[in-house]
Amino acid sequence: MTASQWLPLAVLASSLLPGLLIFALPEERIGLRTALNLFGAVAKLTLVGVLLVGVQAGNTYSVGYTVLPGVDLMFKADALALLFVSLSSVLWLLTTLYAIGYLEGSPHRSRFFGFFSLCVTATMGIAMAANLFTFFVFYELLTLSTYPLVVHRGSGAALRGGTIYLAYTLGGGALLLTGIVWLHSLVGQVEFTHRGVLSPLSPHYADQLRMIFLLLIAGVGVKAALVPLHGWLPNAMVAPAPVSALLHAVAVVKAGAFGIIRIVYEIYGVEFAQSLNLLLPLAVAASVTIIWGSLRALAQDDLKRRLAYSTVSQVSYITLGVALFGPVGTIGGLVHLVHQGIMKITLFFCAGNYAETLGTHKVSEMNGAGRRMPATTLAFSIAALGMIGAPLTAGAVSKAWLSDGAQALGLEWVGWVLLASSLLNAAYFLPILYRVWLKPAPARWPQEHSAAQGWRETTWLLLLPPLLTAAATLAAGIYADSEFSPLAWAQLIARREYLTPVP
Amino acid sequence: MNDPVYDVAPWLVLLPLAWAGLAFVWGPGRGARLALAGTALQLLLTLRLAAELLSLGGRRHAVGGWGAPLGIDLAVDGLSMTMLLLTQAVAFAVFIYARAYFTDRSADGDGHGARNHFWPLAGFLLAAMNALYLSADLFNLYVTLELLGLAAVGLVAAGGNAAQVSAALRYLLVSLLASGAYLLGVALIYGSYGTVALSALPLMSADAPLAVALAAALMGVALLLKTALFPFHFWLPPAHGGAPAPVSALLSALVVKATFYLFLRLGLGLFAPLGETIAWLPGLLGSAAIFWGSWQALRAQRLKMLVAYSTVAQLGYLFLIFPLLAPDGLALQAGVMQALSHGLAKAAMFMTAGVFLQVSGRDAVADLAGVAGRLPVTLFAFGLAGVTLMGLPPSGGFLAKWLLIDAALAQGRWGWAAVVIAGGLLTALYVFRVVRQAFASTEARPPLAPVPRTLEWTAFALAAASVLLGLRGMEVLHLLDVGAAS
């Protein structure tokens, strides 16, 4: 086996094996469990680093295994896969640190971290899947491995949230499977290929291909929380904060958005999808989701629910970028995959910190929290400003590329959607910032805990991750033009997708 | 005859008979070790047989040389080989489980009767099943069916409590009725063609005498009755749900598969031409079984009843293949894959139900609250078995589902594909009904009896095997291909 074959497998194994070992560990082996977690995460980052250098140099990494005649389990680490892989593996490390701090002393940690690792393994599989079959295998694995995390607390609300989550995701999986097998029976196994594989098909199949597109997009749209398939996301908020981070930034919604990218670009191909008139409806669905999510976010007083609806809205920026035919919009969508991840994970880390230290779960209880927890609130503010699209943040970069992409197509209404969304984002984030920084703190917090060690706010394990991701939000905005930014990588992908010079 | 295939085959029948007989002679409750050793040997022999069959390639070994003067022909091809492998593998795991299950028990739940009679009856059951897979003529098949039914009824009744005995009586009546009908069919065939050897019988032609059509009907109904296809499933839930866990595992995983195998064998061979006209019927009944069984599983109060109704539903998938049987072989592959993965997963699921029962002394789904934290291995095993039953990747059940949908779509038959998809979602409903309950946090923590680790881990091993089978699909299909061409 050559290096180009075992590297993708090693990326999978670096979270799968620690995960399986962790399941076997007794609850009280905290040190060993932490060591395994961190070893896996660091090993994965190293491997991903090697892959990044290789792919930039033009190497290909792929490996396959035949499951049934004409059906292969295949992995390949290409530029697009690595965009998602690097995002997830960096955030996995930070989330693991955060979760270790967050769950200190709570029961069933071996189970939690075991499924956590499986969940990341599934995400890696989704990112590196080389065909729809493999994608589906890991897509369902992701559903199964996140369920125990969503219901982790075992309360009535958690179980209800878990059931709703399953109902949506398994239903979506069934649609996806139907679409995949249908496509399989039409054209056999298709590998993800730049510029798509279906365009040589005779026009006779156009209607069937449209139906299949609908099935596939609806299938992955559930995880991407496209309206009206988004209902599970706000309900899954009952999960512990690290799980929310996982759902919203590292794995689940990203898997859905990533699936849309693969299907549009590498199964249908943008040009072919455009010729079937599939992109405009997708853009409309994304726009509706963007506006609807923001409107619903406005009405939520529960901080995590507000953030959840904000995710519904923000993830559809990615879909919108995909649906904007042309390299500029593509870059906007791709780069937002990363940018939304780092900004949203910051917000959820901070929400978790507020809940842990002060016991505040509602926006209306957050008056003056900034003075009590300045570091957390600073991180929160940066990420919130990023979401709004304030200059010097990652969000500004995504939004600029997206609106340029829309302009290049002459789709004026998309520009209005983006503007409206930014205003709505401001309308639901700025009042929070006003409350936390400028309003006086209450005499008593709902449930105050002071950390035994670390800063006054909370332990460093809970503080470091949001500060790092907030710094990354700024860096991705300020240094967007550097050679190693997410933007540069998105441009690389777009160049390979369109085979044309990219701005 | 020095053909290695036939050196091995008779031992698969003789060995279980031998250890069952010895266990019977030794007296109640004894013979477990011998049974384990015997089954391990059978498993090795079966593996060797499979290797021989593969190396001999696609030749068909229709007629065995052994015992021809006695009139007992043995035959093995890919289809029967896969079933033999499943039988020995599941039986071996279940026996390890049963040994731990039946020894250190106080007088709760299943009573001593089951323990006293388990080993001899299980041995006869295994001998009958192996003989069924190896038999090559209709009359011998009748004999094995009758033996299989009696041993299975005995196992259900052995517990001795009222519910078990009444379930066993009902099972006995069904079994006798079905065997009688089957025998009548065999007699009609013999009358028409003058032979009962499968290899010598012609395919039933369009102008076949009425007697042959009648025989087909009688034998078909008999086998459906024994396989408990909806609406003939009424006897199954009380029998499988009421028996002690190891017995339920054997019955649900293996015994109903044996009669399904015979139905399939006759449907592919002797009665194949009938398929064009009435193949929709088993498909339709199968669909009804999926919906009805899943619905009942959703409503069941007791975990073992839930698992038993799940068997009713999962058997439905096996019959969906008949309308889709085509030269591309996809549907047949789907059926065999489903039989294998369901066998492994269902045995595992009944075994986990047995663990819950032993630990808490109760069997209600509602009593499972909080089990996740206390019996993680067993819950994990239940979940993995559930993954297979739901047909989620990467399990064997997923491959079966994929092949089935592929077969349906390749022929443009949307309805069947929709049934498969809907069935998977229904399965998810009842599987997660249990899992959800297990994750619920609860204040009450009733004391749990200690449980031997063997029980937990054998169930886990079978469940994991059912999932990992999905990665070895090529081997299964390769084996299935042997002798399938002719």
- The pLDDT tens digits of the residues spanning A297-327 come to 999 999 999 999 999 999 999 999 999 888 8
Give whole-number Cα distances, B174 to A90, A313, B168, B181, B224, in Å: 62, 60, 10, 11, 11
Angle at B275 between CA B272 and CA B280, to 5 degrees: 155
Instruction: Give yes or no for a contact between B321 and B406, defined as CB atoms under 8 angstroms apart.
Output: no
Once rounded to an integer, what is the mean pLDDT over residues A111-124? 94
Instruction: Give yes or no for a contact between A350 and A480, defined as CB atoms under 8 angstroms apart.
Output: no
- The pLDDT tens digits of the residues spanning A25-42 come to 888 888 999 999 999 999
| Residue A153 DSSP symbol | T
Q: What is the sign, positive or negative, of the torsion defined by CA atoms of A40, A43, A47, A49?
A: positive
User: CB distance B376–A67 less than 8 Å?
Assistant: no
Which DSSP helix (H) or strand (E) runs through A375?
helix A374-388
- The pLDDT tens digits of the residues spanning B247-302 come to 999 999 999 999 999 999 999 888 888 888 888 999 999 999 999 999 999 999 99
User: CB distance A174–B421 less than 8 Å?
Assistant: yes
Residue of A nearest to B371 (CA): A154
Once rounded to an integer, what is the mean pLDDT over residues A55-77? 90
A142 and chain B: CB distance < 8 Å anywhere? no
Residue A107: pLDDT band with limits 50, 70, 90: confident
Residue A334: pLDDT band with limits 50, 70, 90: very high
A457 pLDDT more than 80:
no
Instruction: Give yes or no for a contact between A503 and A412, defined as CB atoms under 8 angstroms apart.
Output: no
Count CB neighbours of B397 within 10 A.
31
Angle at A314 between CA A280 and CA A127, to 5 degrees: 85
- Which chain B residues are Cβ-neighbours of A185 within 8 angstroms? 406, 409-410
User: CB distance B392–A178 less than 8 Å?
Assistant: no
Domain ranges of chain B: 279-486
| Distance of alpha carbon B475 from alpha carbon A158, whole angstroms | 42
- By residue count, chain A amounts to 503
Out of A108, A155, A162, name the one closest to residue B436 (CB): A162
A171 and chain B: CB distance < 8 Å anywhere? yes
User: CB distance B474–A153 less than 8 Å?
Assistant: no
B226 pLDDT more than 50:
yes
| Distance of alpha carbon A97 from alpha carbon A101, whole angstroms | 7
Count CB neighbours of B119 within 10 A.
28
A185 and chain B: CB distance < 8 Å anywhere? yes
Residue A154: pLDDT band with limits 50, 70, 90: confident
Give the mutation candidate from B298, B434, B441 for the A interface (greatest A CB count, under 10 A). B441
Residue B1 confidence (pLDDT): 41
Q: What are phi and psi of A368, to 5 degrees?
A: 75, 10
Judge residue B209's burial from the number of C-beta atoms within 10 Å of its C-beta, 0-12 exposed, 13-18 middle, 19 or more buried.
middle
The residue among A227 and B126 whose pLDDT is bigger is B126
Once rounded to an integer, what is the mean pLDDT over residues B102-109? 56
Count CB neighbours of B139 within 10 A.
17
The structure tokens listed for A380 are: 């929160």
Residue B459: how many CA atoms within 13 Å on its side-chain side? 33
| Distance of alpha carbon B421 from alpha carbon B418, whole angstroms | 5
Instruction: Give yes or no for a contact between B332 and B480, defined as CB atoms under 8 angstroms apart.
Output: yes
Once rounded to an integer, what is the mean pLDDT over residues B33-47? 94
| Residue A358 DSSP symbol | T
Share of chain B above pLDDT 70, in %: 92
Q: What are phi and psi of A433, to 5 degrees?
A: -60, -40
- Which chain A residues are Cβ-neighbours of B406 within 8 angstroms? 181, 184-185
For A186-209, the DSSP string reads: HH---B--TT-S-TTS-GGGHHHH
Give whole-number Cα distances, A211 to A119, A185, A320, B60, in Å: 30, 14, 20, 44
Residue B104 confidence (pLDDT): 56
Out of A66, A159, A174, name the one closest to residue B425 (CB): A174
The residues facing A74 across adjacent strands are A64
Domain ranges of chain A: 292-503
Cβ-proximal residues to B357 (8 Å cutoff; 6+ apart), any chain? B109, B245, B303, B304, B363
User: CB distance A68–B376 less than 8 Å?
Assistant: no
B345 pLDDT more than 50:
yes
Indicate the residue type of A22: I
| Distance of alpha carbon B395 from alpha carbon B341, whole angstroms | 8
Q: What's the whole-number average pLDDT of chain A? A: 90
Share of chain B above pLDDT 90, in %: 63
Peptide bond into A228 cis (omega under 30): yes
Q: What are phi and psi of A273, to 5 degrees?
A: -60, -40
Which DSSP helix (H) or strand (E) runs through A446?
none
| Distance of alpha carbon B228 from alpha carbon B238, whole angstroms | 12
Cβ-proximal residues to B475 (8 Å cutoff; 6+ apart), any chain? none
| Distance of alpha carbon B274 from alpha carbon B476, whole angstroms | 28
B486 pLDDT more than 50:
no
Residue B400: how many CA atoms within 13 Å on its side-chain side? 32
Residue B483 confidence (pLDDT): 66
- Which chain B residues are Cβ-neighbours of A155 within 8 angstroms? 441
User: CB distance A174–B417 less than 8 Å?
Assistant: no
- The pLDDT tens digits of the residues spanning A216-271 come to 999 999 999 998 999 999 988 888 889 988 888 888 999 999 999 999 999 998 88
Out of B373, B405, B471, name the one closest to residue A181 (CB): B405
Residue B72: pLDDT band with limits 50, 70, 90: low
Residues of B at the A interface, defined by Cβ within 8 angstroms: 370, 372-373, 376, 380, 383, 387, 390, 392-394, 398-399, 401-403, 405-406, 409-410, 417, 421, 424-425, 428, 432, 435-436, 439-441, 470-471, 473-474, 477
| Least confident among A11-15, A412-416, A458-462, B312-316 | A458-462
Instruction: Give yes or no for a contact between A198 and A187, defined as CB atoms under 8 angstroms apart.
Output: yes
Residue B443's SS3 state is coil
Cβ-proximal residues to A421 (8 Å cutoff; 6+ apart), any chain? A290, A291, A294, A313
Dihedral Cα A348, A353, A358, A364, nearest 10 deg: -20
User: CB distance B392–A140 less than 8 Å?
Assistant: yes
Indicate the residue type of A307: L
Peptide bond into A203 cis (omega under 30): no
Which region, left, alpha or beta, applies to residue A499 given φ > 0 means left and ψ of -120 to 50 means alpha? left
For A274-301, the DSSP string reads: HHTT-HHHHHHHHHHHHHHHHHHHHT--
Residue of B nearest to A165 (CA): B432
